[in-house]
Structure 1
Amino acid sequence: MSLDQALQATMSTVPECLASGYVDMDTGMLLGVQTVDSHPQEVLDTLAAATADLFQGQSVTQIEMLFKKIRGQEKDDQHYFQEILVFSEHFLHVFMRTKKYPGHVVCFVCRRSANPGMVLTKARMGLDSVTAAV
């Protein structure tokens, strides 16, 4: 299955999902995207950079290092933050770091009216199939 097909299949199971994307934060590239509407290229180009800022921005990496130090895990190369939910005025954005590729993040955008617990559950259930398509 191609990455776009995997994103589309997972998107169809996530409640009220309007868009999905796959970001390689190491290269800064948006490797795949599926949406129900068309979006300006400028928005899509910015998604990868914004996702990298969420997970790898200077303040975030400092917090991760502090938490690791407190827990005695300073040499651990695992990332502390795995999932981030952002609620905007009209949407629920889910960003999930993949287990197989820690530098990759899958994003889902749903209507704000979607149940956050169900969105997160269904997104987690589809994460491995999306990652397997890379």
Structure 2
Amino acid sequence: MATKRMATGFSDQVTSLVKSLRTEAPDCVASGVVDMATGMLLAYETVDSHPPEVLDLLAGATLDLFQGRTVLMIEDLWKERRQQNGHDGHFFQEILVNSENVTHLFVRMNEQQDVVAVVVCRKSVNVGMLFAQVRRVIREYSL
């Protein structure tokens, strides 16, 4: 059973999560945490330097992926059809995006659905291992 990693405060937990994802996800080149309530990138760690505009766009893209207008319409329709209108959770929990050179994995935190962890890996990553490692690390945090 995984133990919860506890740091002194939310900011410390976020920083620790980003470091753990960066070191423990296979072929990882960057990791970060996005707050969906504010649309801000809370913390990140990367092997390369990136312009701040790119990092800001990552937070916005994450927000669009999980809570864009069409996504929310789909979730509302599913809730209505499944008669779960009082259900506050989100249906989309993990999203994998393959680009030309890298693979991005976006995962909602278990306890705080408005916080999303982002992991960017080399395209050669074993996707099964990526999911397994990221899920294991996320289970250890109570964000």
Same fold (TM over 0.5): yes
TM-fit CA distance, 1:35: 0.4
Match of 2:127 in 1: 116
Mapped partners of 1:4, 1:36: distance in 2: 16
Mapped partners of 2:17, 2:67: distance in 1: 25
TM-fit CA distance, 1:100: 1.3
Gaps of 5+ in 1: none
Match of 1:102 in 2: 113
TM-fit CA distance, 1:5: 3.2
Mapped partners of 1:108, 1:40: distance in 2: 18
Q: Write the deviation string for residues 48-102 of structure 1: whole angstroms up to 9, x where unpaired.
A: 1110000000000001111111211111111010000001111110000111111
Instruction: Please point out which of 83, 89, 97 is paired with 1:72.
Output: 83
TM-fit CA distance, 1:128: 3.2
**Residue correspondence of structure 1 range 1-134 to structure 2 within 5 A:** 1=7, 2=12, 3-129=14-140, 131-132=141-142
TM-score scaled by structure 1? 0.92
Q: Write the deviation string for residues 24-54 of structure 1: whole angstroms up to 9, x where unpaired.
A: 0101111110001111111011111110000
Paired letter, 2:61:
A
TM-score scaled by structure 2? 0.87
Q: How many residues align?
A: 132
Percent sequence identity over matched residues?
46
Mapped partners of 2:16, 2:75: distance in 1: 34
Mapped partners of 2:99, 2:68: distance in 1: 20
User: Deviation above 3 Å: which 4+ runs of structure 1?
Assistant: none
Q: Could you tell me whether the CA contact under 8 Å between 2:17 and 2:138 is conserved in 1?
A: no
